[in-house]
Amino acid sequence: MSFINEFKLFEIKSKMSSCACENVSNIQLSNHVCNIKLPNDHLNNCNCNSGQEKFDDNPVRYSDGSVRLRNPNIELMDQDILYHLALGSGSHDLVEMFGDIKFVCMGGTPKRMENFAYFIMKEIGHKLPTGTTLMDISQYSYRYSMYKVGPVLSISHGMGIPSVGILLHEVIKLMYHARVKDPIFIRVGTCGGVGLEGGTVVISEEAVDGMLKPYFEVPVLGKMVRRPAKLDKQLVREINALSNPDDPYDTVIGKTMCTHDFYEGQGRLDGAFCEYTEVDKMDYLHKLQKSGVVNIEMEAVAFAALTHHAGIKSAIVCVTLLDRLKGDQLMAPKEVLEEWQKRPQMLVARYITRYLQTKGRLSLEGHGSMCVKSPRRFKLVQQESENYD
């Protein structure tokens, strides 16, 4: 590394430190101004009044609410290519394209999130210019789909922890490059209920893994790194408050178990392998129920942990497609399943609409279009993204 880059890296790391709060005992508290903004759930652990502030490994943001990356290497790069979104910090004007984003909504399939984009457009009264239509901003990645509707991003995350993890790394970096302030991430999906009938909407209050541990473990450089899988409690309450007593289904708050697998990991009897009995399965599901688990899916732990680590408020709203205590396979007709999948979208749309109306940020026109600032680099980004087949 050159001397210039070494100096720049030192300067960046200095800016990314936990601010002067670590040395606050050496200065006058009355004159101390912290440059870092902590999420609400971390403020309770702060001992600023006693002259010391606990930062340990908790996520932080800059004082203006913008996302603060935990990676000093990004600033040293000539261009940061978001391979799986077909975007780049040097090829696209990311501030122009995404700077007004407030909500990032994620779901499994491209079609579901395209439908959600059109649904939220109608709900918030967003208008497209005559002769235009919503475009898939990440169409050249061939992996995820992304639609922008005013201050809302609707993105597909694929299936399982690896897929949602890759997407979150790049979307969090996108928020950073676009200088988005205080974004809110919401996963809108489907799940299996544990003692809940199909069609029930579940707002996750906590995410646990298959061993009922409330954190996400990932091996990094041969060492296991553990990150708390925390969701924003206030956001959970605010979304739940918008459930309507007249809705023809129940909306509940509960613990969500996240697995690495659809079959054995969830105790199904219909996989290619099954080396346990139905009695074993039922004992396990009843154990989950007693521990407070109300649904099972495959993304919650990674989603909660990575957003929390980035200091981003997040929530998960899913609909149950079946009660796992009564079977393993979907029995409801396709039309019924499609109607059920709209239920969490409707609840999230209520929250977004209410928020925008309250904050006065209701966008009524414009659409998510490309803003290329370097055609040469834009072509390079397309080629690099396609190379990741």
Q: Which helix (H) or strand (E) holds 282?
A: helix 278-290
Clarify whether residues 24 and 153 are in a common domain.
no
| pTM of the predicted protein model | 0.81
Integer Cα distance of 96 and 62 in angstroms: 20
The amino acid that residue 150 corresponds to is G
Domain count, the chain: 2
Is residue 336 domain-resident? Answer: yes
Integer Cα distance of 313 and 64 in angstroms: 15
CATH number of the domain to which 315 belongs: 3.40.50.1580
Is residue 68 domain-resident? Answer: no
| Ranges 27-31, 126-130, 139-143, 218-222: which has the least confidence | 27-31
- The boundaries of the domain holding residue 48 are 14-58
Q: What are phi and psi of 271, to 5 degrees?
A: -85, 180
Q: Which helix (H) or strand (E) holds 344?
A: helix 334-359
- What pLDDT sits at residue 26? 37
36-37 and 251-258: which strand pairing?
Answer: unpaired
Is residue 87 domain-resident? Answer: no
Clarify whether residues 208 and 356 are in a common domain.
yes
Is residue 72 domain-resident? Answer: no
Nearest partner of 116 among 87, 163, 152, 86, judged by Cα: 152
Q: Is 143 annotated as a binding residue?
A: yes
Q: Is 79 annotated as a binding residue?
A: no
CA count, 13 A, side-chain hemisphere, 239: 33
Residue 26, phi-psi category: left (phi > 0), alpha (psi -120 to 50), beta (remainder): alpha
Q: Is 361 annotated as a binding residue?
A: no
Clarify whether residues 303 and 202 are in a common domain.
yes
Clarify whether residues 178 and 313 are in a common domain.
yes
Clarify whether residues 181 and 252 are in a common domain.
yes
Q: Is 139 annotated as a binding residue?
A: no
Clarify whether residues 205 and 318 are in a common domain.
yes
Q: Is 187 annotated as a binding residue?
A: yes
User: pLDDT tens for residues 316-369?
Assistant: 999 999 999 999 999 999 999 999 999 999 999 999 999 998 886 544 444 445
Structure tokens at 363: 């966008």
Tell me: pLDDT of 96 over 70. Answer: yes
Asked if 86 and 26 count as a contact pair (C-beta separation under 8 A), the reply is no
User: pLDDT tens for residues 19-74?
Assistant: 434 343 333 333 333 444 444 444 444 433 333 333 344 447 788 899 999 999 99
User: pLDDT tens for residues 199-217?
Assistant: 999 999 999 999 999 999 9
- What pLDDT sits at residue 386? 61
Clarify whether residues 36 and 180 are in a common domain.
no
Is residue 348 domain-resident? Answer: yes
Share of the chain above pLDDT 90, in %: 70
Is residue 77 domain-resident? Answer: no
- What pLDDT sits at residue 387? 61
Asked if 122 and 173 count as a contact pair (C-beta separation under 8 A), the reply is no
DSSP 22: G
Clarify whether residues 33 and 152 are in a common domain.
no
Integer Cα distance of 310 and 74 in angstroms: 15
Structure tokens at 307: 């957003």
Q: Is 188 annotated as a binding residue?
A: yes
Tell me: pLDDT of 78 over 50. Answer: yes
- What pLDDT sits at residue 152? 97
Cα distances from 10 to residues 4, 22, 70, 80, 85, in angstroms, run 10, 18, 14, 20, 30
Q: Work out the number of other CB atoms within 10 angstroms of the CB of residue 324.
A: 25
Asked if 180 and 69 count as a contact pair (C-beta separation under 8 A), the reply is no
Is residue 265 domain-resident? Answer: yes
Clarify whether residues 150 and 237 are in a common domain.
yes
Q: Is 324 annotated as a binding residue?
A: no
